[in-house]
Amino acid sequence: MEIESILLKQRDFFKTQQTKSLAFRKMYLEKLKNLIISHENMLYEAINKDFGKSKFDTFTTELSFILNDINYYLKNLKSLSKPKKVRTNLVNQLGSSKIYADPLGCVLVIGAWNYPYQLSLSPIIAAMAAGNCCILKPSEIAENTMKAMAAIINENFPPEYLYVYEGGIDETTALLKLRFDKIFFTGSTKVGKIVYKAAAEHLTPVTLELGGKSPAIVTKNANLEMAAKRIVWGKFLNAGQTCVAPDYLLVEETIQEQFLEMLRKYIKEFQYDQNSEQYTRIINQRNFQRLIHLINKEKIYSGGNFDEEKLYIEPTILNHIDWNDDIMQEEIFGPILPVISFKNYNAALNSILELEKPLAAYLFTSDSEEKENFTRKLSFGGGCINDTVMHLSNDHLPFGGVGNSGIGNYHGKYGFETFSHPKAVLEKATWGEPNIKYPPYSEKKLSWIKKLM
């Protein structure tokens, strides 16, 4: 079935108004939930084939997010969809004003390979909850998970409502030539620019979830044990192939040696060896080669070993790094953690300000002034104080980038709003209207209008 034909059918189906029904939305959200639960083992097997992700990590970082998203919308869909009554200004009395959440229409979601289920299905779930028809293009890099999602959805949903389009760059290019009512893309900044440019041809609104070099800062006022434990977990989760992973570490000079030893201790404690099920492989040869070329052997503090055949790279800490090193010129997206020392906290913040705005930022400290300067001074998509990555797990917080790290956000109500148009409606009474806005004009009418404004 040609993808253009499917999009035309989705346009026709959207015009029937069926997707605007809350009962319709809930029915298909429930159906997707049940399908994910009943196909859980198949989903585990597919992602393990792609890059060795364990059942534990797949559930905690992928399926649990998806199921929680569905449960959130099933619980809150009525209140999210309810027209919001707002104040009516004086010049529009007697009248009432409401904002209606209108579905946008036919949307395209382009997923990413690093969390292939979560980053494909979470946006789709938000789009379904908002009342849209959807085409999903998962990443072909995680081929087995792409096929698993296609099998689950295409065999159980009408294509005029929800469809998974398999393929690679050629298929994505063909999709981007079509006119959608919204495009949601997760991936690299480089590809995000291509998507944005294609969307501009049709004036299609976009949400871009990109990446960047996300810093983690540790000051002498931090709980060092907890900081080390949480940074090691957040950095080496998914073998560092996480868009919000700490990309590099800024450590206050007076505690650097002590802290590096703590990092090494937790890497060993978490057992990130090549035969461990809690440590993911690198996705493919191309990314493997890119990563090992970023490891400066002269600056290895810990780790540095790899197995090309198994696509395994040991968690690696690089010390004595400066801002001009190769590893500081691009997002790492792998299990390599460069460490830069600093003497002055505010000077360290200023150094971060010289870079593109990151998707995430993390600070470890107990000092209230340091916390205040961090949140006030730095611009970033989202982050944590005294933790890493976990801000994603709160569906009351928006998730998204800023500047070079993305446009727009989602999760919870923010996902619903991303795939909706806030339609403004003013309803006026047909009696009791003053005549001052109508011709013929006069100075007296103008003076009254100035008073009313």
Catalytic residue IDs = 209, 243
Instruction: Tell me how far CA of residue 50 lies from CA of 140, 145, 173, 280, 307, in angstroms.
Output: 10, 7, 23, 10, 17
DSSP conformation letters of 263-321: HHHHHHHTT--TT-TTSPPPS-HHHHHHHHTT--GGGEEE---EETTTTEE--EEE-S-
Task: Give the CA diameter of the chain.
Answer: 86
- Indicate the length of the chain as a whole number: 453
Taking a C-beta distance cutoff of 8 angstroms, is the pair 209, 243 a contact? yes
Residues 6+ apart with CB under 8 A from 314: 272, 273, 274, 303, 304, 305, 306, 335
Partner residues linked to 215 by β-bridges = 248
Distance CA 84, CA 99 (A): 5
Q: Which pair of structure tokens corresponds to residue 79?
A: 């209140």
Task: Please name the amino acid found at residue 417.
Answer: E
CB 341, CB 321: distance < 8 Å: no
